[in-house]
């Protein structure tokens, strides 16, 4: 396996795949991730991942030569999907609504393999519990600028680590890509991740 296409401009997903030593080429999707209140948050994540993948596979054309992966993360507060906050007020309201309680983070993954065939799709869900957050704590976090490109208004791997009281499930699902499941899925289809180092040695 001489690498993977990542159908996402997310720096976190790129970092996660590279942390496995994978040779990653980013091909961002132009899909707009529209809201769809008719879908559950989990279904919404699956829809977004599927559409991102479809967009990028169409861009690459039928002769793409390596697995192509798209993913989408949705924060689920009692059945309501929390997207990326548009401004400070929305970020503040989201974080206040998560304070002192549990929510679920769904990350859906869609993978297309060379040679056609149906895309492989799965979705992992992890429960996250926040500490009670004071207004000052929320304001400080918003001032860091971190909430704005992240579903639910926080990223667990940054300063929001201080907001989290506990998680139940896969940490990487909350970060935006369930790495263990991705690697096992690729292996089950005959792709063993060849590291960037090994690729350069050929």
DSSP state letter for 198: H
Catalytic annotation on 72?
A: yes
The distance between the two most distant Cα atoms of the chain, rounded to a whole number of Å, is: 55
Measured between its terminal Cα atoms, the distance across the chain in Å is: 12
Active-site choice (55, 72, 76, 170) = 72
Q: Considering only CA atoms, which of 149, 146, 148 is closest in space to residue 10?
A: 149
C-alpha span between 68 and 1 (Å, rounded): 12
- The answer to whether the beta carbons of residues 59 and 7 sit under 8 Å apart is no
Residue identified by tokens 């971190």 is 146
> What whole-number distance in Å separates Cα of residue 190 and Cα of residue 118?
16
Active site residues: 72
């Amino acid at each position: 396996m001489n690498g993977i296409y990542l159908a996402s401009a997310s720096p976190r997903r790129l970092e996660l795949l590279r942390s496995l030593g994978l040779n990653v080429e980013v091909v961002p999707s132009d899909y707009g991730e529209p809201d769809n209140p008719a879908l559950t948050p989990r279904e919404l994540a699956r829809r977004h991942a599927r559409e991102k993948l479809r967009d990028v596979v169409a861009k690459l054309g039928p002769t793409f030569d390596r697995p192509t992966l798209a993913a989408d993360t949705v924060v689920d507060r009692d059945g309501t999907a929390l997207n990326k906050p548009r401004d400070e007020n929305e970020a503040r309201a989201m974080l206040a609504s998560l304070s002192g309680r549990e929510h679920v983070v769904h990350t859906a993954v869609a993978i297309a393999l060379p040679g056609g065939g149906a895309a492989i799709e799965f979705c992992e869900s992890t429960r996250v519990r926040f500490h009670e957050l004071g207004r000052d704590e929320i304001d400080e976090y918003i001032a860091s600028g971190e909430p704005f490109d992240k579903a639910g208004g926080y990223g667990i791997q940054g300063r929001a680590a201080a907001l989290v009281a506990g998680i139940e499930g896969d940490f990487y699902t909350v970060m935006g890509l369930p790495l263990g499941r991705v690697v096992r899925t690729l292996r089950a289809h005959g792709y063993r991740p060849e590291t960037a180092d090994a690729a350069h040695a050929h």
